[in-house]
Chain A
Amino acid sequence: MRLPPQPNERIDRDAPVAFELDGRRVEGCAGDSLGSALYASGRRVFSRSFKYHRPRGLVCCSGNCPNCLMTVDGVPNVRVCVEPIRAGANVRAQNVLGSLDRDLLAVVDRVGGPFTPVGFYYRTMIRPRRLWPYYEKLLRNLAGLGRVGGAGERRYDVEHRRVKTLVIGGGRSGRAAAEAAGGDALLVDERGGFVPVGYELLAPACALGIYEGGLVPVAAGDVLHRIRAERIVVATGTIEQPLVFPGNDLVGVVLPGAVRRLVEDWAIKPGRRAVVIGADESGCAVTEQLAAAGVEVARVVDLRESPVVEIAAEGRRGLLAGVTVDGEQLACDLLVASGGRQPAYSLLAQAGARIEYDAARATFVPVEVPAGIEAVGSVTGDDGRVAVPAASYNGARGKCFACLCEDVTEKDLKRAVAEGFDSIELAKRYTTVTMGPCQGKLCQVASIRLLARELETGEEAIGTTTARPPWAPVELGLLAGRHHEPVKRSPLHARHLAAGAQMMWTGQWQRPFCYGGGDPAAEVRAVHDSLGVIDVSTLGKLVVEGPDAAEFLERLYPNRFADLRVGRVRYGVLTSDGGRIMDDGTIARLDDELFYVTTTSTGSESVCEWFEWWNAVWGYRVEIVNVTGALAAINLAGPSAREALAPLTDADVSPDAFRYLGARELRVAGVPCLALRIGFVGELGYELHCSALAAEPLWDALVHAGAVPFGLEAQRVLRLEKAHIIVGQDTDSESNLLSAGMPWIVKRDKDDFVGKWAVEHASVRERLVGFTMGDRVVPVEGAQVVRDGRPAGRVTSARISERLGHVVGLAWVAPEQAADGAEISIRIGGEPRRAVVTLAPFYDPEGKLLRS
């Protein structure tokens, strides 16, 4: 099938390359595309159409049409006509039941006539509605393209670039523009194959769109280049348009470009006997090329001279057998049919250019191209050629396809108009014309012309549909980029794993749920009875420093910080001006102008941002530094915490020297620490903050001193026994300080704090209270609180307290029920169960243990 060597052929005849199509060996040459090698081996049917399963063959050979989509090495919908050949590739036909040549689903085309008009499925199969899921499954199997997920793990990357000049399209005008721009220019081309002169070439690569700010995403293999250009030159040229006539989708009906590429690039004889129908110079010019390649040309029809012709192609088993032109029957196996060239204006339209119909040239052309963007070459429509509107489609025999991707026929469009979908945007949505893989490259103009004729108006009155990215097919993986799932690990992560911890996700953090024993209750017991230790390095940690630091915090928190003495710690809750509870934590004053603020584990970044914002608004002399990642924090808690700590430090940690809510710098096991004496889990406790680098020796020393590591589940139980709330778990965006039971924290006599006015105007529609339940049945989080058979609240936290011997929890209830001893009813498994409201902490309500 190969011709003698052609002057500019791309193949290397001495380098055979073999691959497989559906298990059969195919041989081509280096320089072939998969598609050209298949064509050279005699294959003509490349795919089966979307809806009717009609055989389809190469049409454009330039990656524009859907006819050569195959699955290559597990990647679906690869356009094999432009996919470079590679040895050992596993190529498979898709959308086929059986084989490409004998597709059992082709029955749809033969008997489906009355059942396949546009919109049929949705109108007919919607009743009875409950059967739709079954219909849908069936239809999805009958229609549709390749299957996703066969390619395994692939890595995609994103590269960001800035260039002065970006040229899109490597044709004559594009190359000239890039050369003129010189060294700072980058040229992007779909094919490449030429040597850049004084500029950079990115090929094969495809610009997907032009976004605001001059952003152009360019797909090149497994890399998406996000290119910012000061100047964008669009040289995307034109796209040859097919003609609409009966049988225009038969295998063997091609565009002139396919002939050019088959002959020039790959030295393939495209057929034996051809008919050429062209609407412009380049359409008719292939005649000479065909003759030179030894193809007999039966007839040439120049539509510029005889614009109205009856064309009808006939085929056998989907392959072209002949064509009737104005009554003259011509046998042929190749029909080169072109309806002229349409400027590929999409990228310009996306960038904001207006698209106007030029009746003289019978094409749509871009006008009013926005600043910073230039159009050069034939994409402007100024290439001197004169085309005429596409030929007729009046034949009654066979289907006339307006859209190959979605199998939309001229009848479907007429029907859409008859049903009232008579604007191009509506007809598009109703028939799905231009919505397939080609995105209108080969069907936009055809459908506009059809609509214009049907409505007896001009193309200019119909207009175009909105151009949107992506301009070329792109793999979703490329848009998604590399798979990123950030994981945060505490500096003690290795220690947790070594201790057999069951790790769990808390936001991006990995934290121990419980340790090797798998018994959180035992960990709770250790804290209550002797000594426990927990890694709280995930807490957000901010340093707030400056002459105005105290005043700044005073204005952010509802309680007082100006009067906090150096060396003391205070609990604080952050609210918004709307009254929403945002975060909580402790604030230690380390010096007159130096505060150390902790936040919740998930709140470090948002609290830092919040602080920075208010400081931008107010302009205090304050610096805020987020030191979360730099520091570790370990909470040592239990009745014997002091005895364990004393031998590890020179500092005096006696109850009088280091009192409850004190903050001191001391060395523990040689590690410099900031120690906060706070009641994190309800027992005597010290929270030790140290450099992340020193976390492991400190942890080891504490464990060596007898502290039992405990995980998040034990912490949850311990803190719930103290009725400590978890912001975001027990509170939500409707909660305020009064309803959440924290009126004591609000210092109403302060002039101002963020959220003050919301508290003043707050209404309390429900209250967050503690509750206990006698038996050991634990309500799920979210369980309903019921009152007179109606929902009246919900449970937000509940656990069994082994120490107290019953269930403890927090729930939102009606304000009237928020009283010590009030009985409420919680629905568990459909049954209401009795619970009793408790306002004070369940365990050690007076906090004696904390202060001990």
Chain B
Amino acid sequence: MSFLLDCPHCGPRDAAEFHYQGEVTSRPESPPTLRELTDYVYFRDNVAGLQREWWYHRLGCGLWFVAERDTRTNEVLRTEVHKPARPVA
């Protein structure tokens, strides 16, 4: 694994500088059943293809961002800062 990742803050850097956090999941919005909870905590799509995933620039600026990567080729199509919906205060 030696591809480059385009950190939205620092630009293209070696993938070894980053911590991979797995695919972007959606947290249940209302109390889940045990099955829904288990799905959310343990199950992943594990696609062979385009995947949205979390990366952390651990040895750099410390930014969390989302990358779109083809898991078959490690081609990173784009990276972006996650835009959360503002939580209900």
B-binding residues in A (CB < 8 A)? 160, 211-213, 215, 228, 548, 551, 576-578, 609, 612-613, 616-620, 757-758, 760-761
User: Which chain B residue has the least Cβ–Cβ distance from A760?
Assistant: B31
Are B37 and A757 in contact (CB-based, < 8 A)? yes
Which of A212, A578, A618, A757 is most buried by chain B, counting CB atoms within 10 A of its CB? A757
Q: List residues of chain A with CB within 8 A of the CB of B64.
A: 612-613, 616
Of the residues B1, B37, B56, B74, contact of A758 by C-beta under 8 Å: B37
A-binding residues in B (CB < 8 A)? 1-4, 14-15, 19, 21, 27-28, 31-32, 34, 37, 40-42, 54, 56, 58, 62, 64-65, 74, 81-87, 89
Of the residues B21, B41, B42, B83, contact of A613 by C-beta under 8 Å: B21
Q: List residues of chain B with CB within 8 A of the CB of A620.
A: 87
Are A757 and B62 in contact (CB-based, < 8 A)? no
Contact count A vs B, C-beta below 8 Å: 62
Q: List residues of chain B with CB within 8 A of the CB of A576.
A: 41
Are B87 and A619 in contact (CB-based, < 8 A)? yes
Which of B27, B65, B74 is most buried by chain A, counting CB atoms within 10 A of its CB? B27
30 A-B pairs whose Cβ atoms sit less than 8 Å apart in the complex: A160-B14, A212-B1, A212-B3, A212-B74, A213-B4, A213-B74, A215-B2, A228-B4, A548-B89, A551-B89, A576-B41, A577-B41, A612-B64, A613-B21, A613-B56, A616-B54, A616-B65, A616-B84, A617-B27, A617-B82, A617-B84, A618-B84, A618-B87, A619-B82, A619-B87, A757-B32, A758-B37, A758-B41, A760-B31, A761-B37
Q: List residues of chain B with CB within 8 A of the CB of A758.
A: 37, 41
Give the docked Cα–Cα distance between A757 and B86 (Å). Answer: 22
| Given contacts A578-B41, A758-B37, A609 and B27 within 8 Å (CB-CB) | no
The 3 residue pairs across chains A and B that have the minimum distance between CB atoms: A619-B84, A616-B64, A213-B3
Q: List residues of chain B with CB within 8 A of the CB of A577.
A: 27, 37, 40-41
| Given contacts A212-B2, A213-B4, A617-B82, A612 and B56 within 8 Å (CB-CB) | yes
Please classify the interface of chain B as helix (H, G, I), strand (E, B), loop, or mixed, using the class held by over half of its residues: loop
Q: List residues of chain A with CB within 8 A of the CB of B83.
A: 619
CB proximity of B14 to chain A, nearest CB, Å? 8
Are B37 and A616 in contact (CB-based, < 8 A)? no
Q: List residues of chain A with CB within 8 A of the CB of B82.
A: 616-617, 619
Q: List residues of chain A with CB within 8 A of the CB of B37.
A: 577, 757-758, 761
Are B84 and A609 in contact (CB-based, < 8 A)? no
| Given contacts A577-B40, A619-B84, A619-B86, A609 and B4 within 8 Å (CB-CB) | no
Are A619 and B85 in contact (CB-based, < 8 A)? yes
Q: List residues of chain A with CB within 8 A of the CB of B4.
A: 213, 228
| Given contacts A577-B27, A578-B42, A758-B41, A612 and B62 within 8 Å (CB-CB) | yes
CB proximity of B86 to chain A, nearest CB, Å? 6
| Given contacts A551-B89, A577-B40, A757 and B21 within 8 Å (CB-CB) | no
CB proximity of B25 to chain A, nearest CB, Å? 10
Give the docked Cα–Cα distance between A620 and B82 (Å). Answer: 12
Give the docked Cα–Cα distance between A761 and B2 (Å). Answer: 41
| Given contacts A616-B84, A757-B37, A609 and B58 within 8 Å (CB-CB) | yes
User: Which chain A residue has the least Cβ–Cβ distance from B24?
Assistant: A617
CB proximity of A620 to chain B, nearest CB, Å? 7
Give the docked Cα–Cα distance between A300 and B85 (Å). Answer: 82
CB proximity of A659 to chain B, nearest CB, Å? 31
Q: List residues of chain A with CB within 8 A of the CB of B19.
A: 609
Are A757 and B84 in contact (CB-based, < 8 A)? no
| Given contacts A578-B42, A612-B62, A619-B84, A213 and B54 within 8 Å (CB-CB) | no
CB proximity of B51 to chain A, nearest CB, Å? 16
Give the docked Cα–Cα distance between A548 and B87 (Å). Answer: 10
Give the docked Cα–Cα distance between A212 and B15 (Å). Answer: 11
* Additional 14 contacts, C-beta under 8 A, given A551-B89, A616-B64, A618-B84: A212-B74, A213-B3, A213-B14, A213-B15, A215-B2, A228-B4, A548-B89, A551-B87, A578-B41, A609-B56, A613-B21, A613-B54, A616-B54, A619-B83
Q: List residues of chain A with CB within 8 A of the CB of B56.
A: 609, 612-613
User: Which chain A residue has the least Cβ–Cβ distance from B33?
Assistant: A761
CB proximity of A355 to chain B, nearest CB, Å? 20
